[in-house]
Amino acid sequence: MNQKITFATILVAFSVFFICFTNASPIGLSPRSPGEIAYADFGPSDFTEPFFEDKRSDTDIVCGKVMFFELRCEVVRITGQFFGGFSDRTNKYEYQISGAEKKLIDSDLIYPPGTAPFQFDVKNKTMQDFCGKNLTIFCDDNVIGTSLIKQLVEPESEHE
**Residue range 90-116, pLDDT digits in tens:** 999 999 999 899 999 999 999 998 999
Where along the chain do its domains lie?
A: 37-152
Kindly report, residue by residue over 40-53, the tens digit of the pLDDT. Answer: 999 864 444 444 44
Question: What whole-number distance in Å separates Cα of residue 150 and Cα of residue 46?
Answer: 16
Of the candidates 127, 155, 126, 125, the one whose C-alpha atom is nearest the C-alpha of residue 38 is 127
Q: What is the pLDDT of residue 49?
A: 47
Q: What is the pLDDT of residue 104?
A: 93
33 to each of 72, 75, 109, how far by Cα in Å? 8, 13, 32
**Structural class in CATH, domain 37-152:** mainly beta
Q: pTM above 0.75?
A: no
> Which residues in the chain come in under a pLDDT of 50?
25-32, 45-56, 160
Peptide bond into 113 cis (omega under 30): yes
Question: What whole-number distance in Å separates Cα of residue 119 and Cα of residue 112?
Answer: 18
Q: What is the pLDDT of residue 48?
A: 46
